[in-house]
Amino acid sequence: MSRTIKDYIVVGLKGIAMGAADVVPGVSGGTIAFISGIYEELIESIKSINLKSLKVLFKKGFKSFWSSINGFFLLFLVLGIGISIFSLAKLFHYLLDEFPIFIWSFFFGLIVASAVYVAMQIKNWNYKIILGILVGTVIAFFITTITPVAESTNPSYIYIFLCGMIAICAMILPGISGSFILLLLGQYKFILSALSEMKGDYIAIFGVGAAIGLISFSNVLSWLLKKFHDITVAFLAGFMIGSLNKVWPWKHTLESYVNSNAEIIPISQENVFPNTFYELTAKDPQTFYAILLAITGFLVIFLLQSAFNKVKSEKPEITE
């Protein structure tokens, strides 16, 4: 595929947006990839990293190998994701602690718009499509109700490796984020801490697990998108709808525990309406601003899509 330097910078910016989404539990980088028009290219590019591409490397050299795996696309995307995750980890941790209702409201609107946009990509609607949406919704909703494992402050390398494999699968699925899976596995705060404190051993082991999981899962997704495109897209749209249970702004904590840093960590929560939230917590539900931010999040998706379409319509000038 021919691309200009400007095109690759745009790919990097999409990576930054994906990384920002993946830092937040309940929001997926896969959602951003889908609405930005690079989802299927991303899956195919990851899938191309296999034994066949390694043979190309040894027989035809690095240049042919790099081209066969869509190397520059992956490089700029990964750089964007990496920059975003390393730079925004502390910020999002702070924002979620200090302004949870505002942050969750924004992402609630963002995910609603994403689900609408993804559903709009379905060409032929029938009962199978409806069933796909329902199945995706139910599965995602069920995942969001699972009680998280208690946080571990000193996990084994093997467990971190497995967490990387599992979390990365969620990161490329629109709907459920890798961060949320890490939350369920009891490693969200630990991985954020490892990233912010640059714990090289844990970062490397997590990265290896993620790479293996990513390559394996991309093959499954690629096959599904080729064989059952509309049904798969419907399932992904349903997955987004089901994940809304996780990002509902007003929650009442039913059960919690205090971790090693003296932080109160919710184990079980229920969604409540703003007036009920006030009655239970005596805290301002900030309903007006929450709705305003939800609308903003909704509009952001379609503004981003409009911008991505504008860039996509421009003809590239140079070739790889």
Report the pLDDT value the prediction gives residue 133, as an integer from 0 to 100.
94
Mean pLDDT of 24-51: 82
Report the pLDDT value the prediction gives residue 318, as an integer from 0 to 100.
40
- 133-184 pLDDT, tens per residue? 999 999 888 887 876 666 666 788 898 999 898 888 877 777 667 777 887 7
Q: Which residue segment(s) compose the domain that 137 sits in?
A: 5-313
Q: Is residue 274 part of a domain?
A: yes
Mean pLDDT of 206-216: 89
By the 10 Å C-beta count (0-12 exposed, 13-18 middle, 19+ buried), 302 is classed as: middle
Residue located via tokens 């200090």: 98
Q: Is residue 304 part of a domain?
A: yes
Mean pLDDT of 204-220: 89
| Residues, the chain | 320
Q: Is residue 318 part of a domain?
A: no
Q: Domain tally for the chain?
A: 1
- 82-131 pLDDT, tens per residue? 888 878 777 877 887 888 899 889 989 988 988 888 888 888 899 999 99
Report the pLDDT value the prediction gives residue 189, as an integer from 0 to 100.
75
Q: Is residue 319 part of a domain?
A: no
Tell me the pLDDT of the chain averaged across its residues: 83
Q: Is residue 320 part of a domain?
A: no
Radius of gyration of the chain (CA): 20
- 226-276 pLDDT, tens per residue? 889 899 889 988 988 988 888 899 988 887 766 666 666 666 778 999 999
